[in-house]
A and B are shown apart, each in its own frame.
Chain A
Amino acid sequence: MQTKHKVSLFLVSFLLGSMLTVQFSTVHRPREDNNVVDNVQLNAELATEKDRQKFYNSEIDRLEQQVNTYQNKQGNREELAKAMADDLDKIKGLAGVKPLKGNGIIITIEDSFDAIAAGGDPSKAASLDYYLYQLINYLNGNDAQAISVENHRIISLSSIRSISMNNLQVNAVMINPKSITIKAVGNIEQMKIGMNLFPQFFREMGKDFKITDVTNGSLTIPAYDAPVEFKYAQPEGDKKL
């Protein structure tokens, strides 16, 4: 066999080997696809979306019913006014400008010598607002219908600020951080799930964390008492209420 033939055979075989390897690597390469999700995740998302759809359908039914109520009572101004007043009451309750009552939990966070003796550091209380925010966020995410901190209703405009170790502001009102009472009306069991994380956070600040259930429906959450003014915003759309 001539050298030329040998070289050509070698070259073609070499190229064929490389091509085979490249193809193999391409086909068997792990996919860098961020959209790949497992069935469990997809099923969970599907269940969530189904729940959401159910909720929206019930909301559509409720609103249609409301519209029908208004239309049926158009002739009778008194009944129409009463229906509208009832709806306004519901909306006020949801907005937090009306007191609410029901079952729920009372969380007490107060200074404790035992917690300090166990290594709690009261100087860490400067970050108390952060953990209170975490706690309220958790309650809101677990079926709490209304929350108050030291009888100050928490709404979308609320603020919690640690001014110093000994000063805490809730809704721009000074409260004593040595003893804080948080009330939450809602699904008791749901609100308490996962609550075991929080005592440790507060113990590190030298505070005790206690939860008391209120199951007789007597837990009252006061209304948001500060005036709600929208200086810099207004309802969107042409139709103003």
Chain B
Amino acid sequence: MIWIPVFGLVLGVLLGFSFNLYIPLQYSSYLSIAILAALDTVFGGIRASLEKHFDSSVFISGFFFNTLLAALLAFIGVQLGVDLYLAAVFAFGVRLFNNLASIRRLIVNRSRSQEKNS
């Protein structure tokens, strides 16, 4: 069922390019942090799906909560004059790599178990 997120991603990209949407340049840093949080959520969802404990409510709420929280953290950092967005970058970056490593291990284990069964 990998085509569902791929199709959604492609549709989102096409829609974005067709409407030529953009935001003021000063807000692009917030959006970049929000994208990082969203990527973390997506890979977390893929990992949960592979581990057979995917929960769509947790997934959806996590997506919106993480995205908004990251953007808010970056905004507060700008207001306080502290680079708080670095904390979000670090946290989501580490989690992203952890999730990717887990996904890799799960796929490898699954392929091994399929080889054994065959």
- Chain B, interface SS category: helix
Q: In whole angstroms, how far apart are the Cα atoms of A63 and B81 in the complex?
A: 51
Which residues in B have their C-beta under 8 angstroms from that of A10? 4-5, 7-8
Q: Are A17 and B16 in contact (CB under 8 A)?
A: yes
Chain B nearest Cβ from A13, distance in angstroms: 3
Q: In whole angstroms, how far apart are the Cα atoms of A181 and B54 in the complex?
A: 95
Q: In whole angstroms, how far apart are the Cα atoms of A24 and B20 in the complex?
A: 10
- Per-residue CB contact flags for chain B residues 17-40 toward chain A (1 = under 8 Å, else 0) read 100111111011001101100110
Chain B nearest Cβ from A101, distance in angstroms: 61
Cross-interface CB contact of A15 among B23, B56, B63, cutoff 8 Å:
B63
For chain B, give the interface size range: 35 or more
Given contacts A17-B10, A21-B16, contact A26 B31 (CB under 8 A): yes
Q: Are B12 and A16 in contact (CB under 8 A)?
A: yes
Given contacts A10-B7, A10-B8, A22-B23, contact A16 B16 (CB under 8 A): no
- Asked if B15 is an interface residue, CB under 8 A from chain A, the answer is yes
Q: Are A19 and B45 in contact (CB under 8 A)?
A: no
Q: In whole angstroms, how far apart are the Cα atoms of A206 and B66 in the complex?
A: 80
- Asked if A11 is an interface residue, CB under 8 A from chain B, the answer is yes
Q: Are B13 and A4 in contact (CB under 8 A)?
A: no
Q: Are B22 and A29 in contact (CB under 8 A)?
A: yes
Which residues in A have their C-beta under 8 angstroms from that of B11? 14, 17
- Asked if B60 is an interface residue, CB under 8 A from chain A, the answer is yes
Kindly identify, within residues 1 to 38 of chain A, every residue whose CB is under 8 Å from any CB belonging to chain B: 1-2, 4-27, 29, 31
Given contacts A8-B59, A12-B60, contact A23 B12 (CB under 8 A): no
Which residues in B have their C-beta under 8 angstroms from that of A9? 1, 4-5, 8, 45, 56, 59
Chain A nearest Cβ from B97, distance in angstroms: 18
Q: In whole angstroms, how far apart are the Cα atoms of A14 and B12 in the complex?
A: 4
Q: Are A23 and B41 in contact (CB under 8 A)?
A: no
Chain B nearest Cβ from A195, distance in angstroms: 48
Q: Are B16 and A20 in contact (CB under 8 A)?
A: yes
Q: Which residues of A contact B (CB under 8 A)?
A: 1-2, 4-27, 29, 31
Task: Show 14 A/B contacts (Cβ-Cβ < 8 Å), sorted by A.
Answer: A1-B49, A9-B59, A10-B4, A13-B12, A15-B12, A17-B12, A17-B13, A18-B13, A19-B12, A19-B38, A20-B35, A21-B12, A21-B16, A24-B16
